[in-house]
Chain A
Amino acid sequence: MSEMSSGLGVPTIPAPPEEPHLPPRQWIRENLFSSLFNTVLTIVSSLVILAIVRGLLAFIFNPQRQWEATATNLRLLMTQAYPEEQYLRVWVCVAVILTLTAMSMAVWRAGSAVPLPGVGRRLLSGGVLLALMALLAPFGTRSTFIWLVIGIVVAAGGEALRRFADEERSLSTLALLAMALGGLVATLWVVPYGSHTFNLQRTPRVLAEPGTVAMSTKLPWTLMLVVAVAAYFVGTLVRDRLPTNPLRATLLVTWLLMPPILLYLVLRDPSFDMGHVFTTDIPIFAAYAVLGGALLSWLTRPSTGEAGRIVAALVLVAGFAMFATPMRMIVRLDMLLLAGFALSAPTFSGGPRARRRYTAGWLGVLGMMSWLITAINTPSTVDVPGGFFIGGISLTLMVAIFTIVISFPLGLALALARTSNMPIFRLLATWFIEFVRGVPLITILIFFSIMVPLFLPPGMHLGEVAAVVIGYSLFSSAYLAENVRGGLQSVTRGQHEAAEAVGMTTSQKTVFIVLPQALRVAIPPLVGHCIGVFKETSLLAIIGLFDVLYIARYVMSNQTEFMGSTKENILFVSLIYWIFAYQMSKASQRLEQRTGLGER
């Protein structure tokens, strides 16, 4: 509780007295066998659960299962055919993401403290579960015995902790997590999982050797863990020395910038044509930076008033007019971006500081967009035969992240347009949403991957994945808009009136009063939507992209060595999906708790 409140700077509220934990026997009697009906229910459902678990374990530990298929193809599942000699790039990306995650955890004070007896309780139940599993699994006597002993030892340790540990002493959940991951990584060096490599020479062949896993696996992952832990401690140092809000803002912006930078700078490594960059790209950027900056600096002056709105509208008209005349795409896109900034300038107008910040925001977004457009249109140095340069879980995550990040502002805009009192916006947004929602996602993906390149002006290239991400973002934004609209409707009329009564303009009211409240209400459906977007990336397989499910279903089970390993592969891939989806769902719960603090 105190963790949470200090995070938001709210005075600490005294926590209510904790409910005493019942001893296990009493808990079982009160909750599972309190009445005849309850007893019957408990027995029946236990039998059902036992049967299911037993079936699952029998499947997993059946000696016929080809789990080597997964072990051998881990790299294929992670990145598909990313070239071996440039694999360092992938590890750099993983390291950057882990660093950011760990630093954010430190800065946002993630995790909580569990009293030692609580840890003991969890160990006890974990150990009992393990022992039970050992009995259920179709092991040989020796394995059963070993796992049974491990389970009992863990349970006994837990019970000892529960009984004798001091209630006052506690352990941070993050330390527990680090210990668990550390243990997992340590086993890579000790336990003989076997070294499985897939030889991609002319005749593909599996090289399976006894011993620990290959150095190319265990060394990077060990380093990754070290990097993450180190980043966490750096994060705590920075957190205690720098002001909180600017630090958080910096981290958030870094998170937003990271996907394009990692993808287009690190993974794809564009070979920039410097001559072209200096003669064309930089001058265009400089012109927009200087002229746009001056314009925005004038527009955000509170005294500008009506003339500013007219100028901003003219910029928008100019932006659309540019599409009628032949010129570079980037010039047109920059103009549209400038129009967007100009139109929202009056909302953020204010003193010199507010104006400087707004202009700096323009320079940042413009620079990012210019660089990104140039990078996308530059050929890559990463040489992958055929198709996209990356696949597997990386492609799945990439498409999901880009789609969510792009469709979020789009969905917000659609929701606002649909609820606005300007009939044209309302009509366009309603038509768009209703149209997109009436079309299956597969249709949209196929349309964008095949048809869109045909409609593009000559000389402009859009990668297949980029086309798909655009299509998927449009699809996702329609659904997202409806979720946000639900949130918008939950904001009471009184809130609108209060904002109007203190003289706010419609856009100020929307930005400062309505959206924050609407989004808070919409967190559960929005996160549900994000999980859906993540999982439905598996449809990418239909248009021939190598996403993780496609690899598991068709690529791996068609390898001559692993014919018929589909079931194992799919079980493994579903585990991967579940881990990511479950983390999103947990994050949503934490977000709800945090933002719910100020609610009445």
Chain B
Amino acid sequence: MTDATAAEPTDNQAMEQSRDLSGARDMIACEGVSKWYGDFQALDGITATIKEQEVVVVLGPSGSGKSTWIRCINRLEVHQEGRIVVDDVELTNDLRNIEQVRSEVGMVFQLFNLFPHLKVIDNVSLAPIWVRKKPRAEAEEQAMALLERVGIPEQAHKYPGQLSGGQQQRVAIARALAMEPRIMLFDEPTSALDPEMIKEVLDVMKVLAQSGMTMMVVTHEMGFAKEVADRIIFMEEGQIVEQGTPQHFFENPTEDRTKLFLSQIL
């Protein structure tokens, strides 16, 4: 592990497109991670590291293991071989490690997974109150601030079912941020949204990326990948095929499979 104090990029640097993160410390380190569902191998020896403040977009055809990989990182799925180290904590069967990692890693799901029986503000403040043991008043104040940040403070006292898809996904982002995570995982956050709602969610994610959050995003939004990603990882059949800056990836990819994929979607 590199020294944590080695590189502390200022906000200014974080705003720039291609940042030099080579000195930053590793937030997520995967070594030879493999996973099987029965006989089917979903992940095949994934080795990759993600630096602090880095925004990584994972691309690939469906069934390539992107979601499985991202879900392994906060142990919603259990990997069978290899090591995953998140913020210096290795994910094993030890419950304490899992709880620690989960409270440091926020996750946003494809289908939002908001709690339908709770009002929006309670969706956001529930975990800070019971997991972080914050006083209720403080947690609700923070929840309001976060809803403000994602642009929907006026919906705080509605139920999720009364909101549009884009609003729900922004609540889900606020809910994840309420735990003050150091890493945010996005598992196809815009795939279940109508086209006109995708932008409002992506905008929130862009602002989040510019604020210096470490992010790992599985998505099919090429525009977002081009504009926001520090690095793009392309996966197929459970393996990392190619990775690099957006410029490298979209303009002169080296692998044939990447070229094929790009030709199909662009």
Contact = CB atoms under 8 A, between A and B. Distances in A.
A536 interface: no
B116 interface: yes
A498 B131 CA distance: 14
A83 B105 CA distance: 68
Interface in B172-219: 172, 175-176, 178-179
Given A302-B133, A351-B133, A597-B159, A501 B126 contact: no
A521 B260 CA distance: 48
Contact of B131 (A492, A502, A513): A502
B261 interface: no
Interface string A350-366: 11010000000000000
Interface in B141-172: 157-161, 172
B113 A508 contact: no
Interface residues of B, number: 35
A434 interface: no
A494 B111 contact: yes
A11 B157 contact: yes
Nearest to A306: B96
A503 B133 contact: no
Nearest to B185: A501
Contacts of A499: 115
A592 to B, nearest CB: 13
Contacts of A500: 76, 102
A42 B113 CA distance: 49
B135 A498 contact: no
A452 interface: no
Nearest to B101: A503
B262 interface: no
Interface string A495-527: 101111111110010001100110010000000
| Majority secondary structure of chain A interface residues (helix, strand, loop or mixed) | helix
Given A516-B117, A598-B116, A599-B116, A504 B157 contact: no
B233 to A, nearest CB: 21
B13 to A, nearest CB: 30
Interface string B48-74: 000000000000000000000000001
Given A302-B133, A351-B135, A502-B102, A517 B116 contact: yes
Contact of A497 (B103, B109, B126, B178): B109
B214 to A, nearest CB: 16
Interface string B104-134: 0111010101111111000000110111010
A599 to B, nearest CB: 6
B99 interface: yes
Contacts of B74: 501
A10 B131 contact: no
Interface centre among A11, A495, A504, A598 (most CB of B within 10 A): A598
20 contacts: A349-B133, A350-B133, A353-B135, A494-B111, A497-B76, A499-B115, A501-B74, A502-B102, A502-B103, A503-B127, A504-B127, A504-B130, A505-B99, A517-B117, A598-B116, A598-B118, A598-B159, A599-B116, A599-B161, A600-B116
Interface of B: 74, 76, 96, 99, 102-103, 105-107, 109, 111, 113-119, 126-127, 129-131, 133, 135, 157-161, 172, 175-176, 178-179
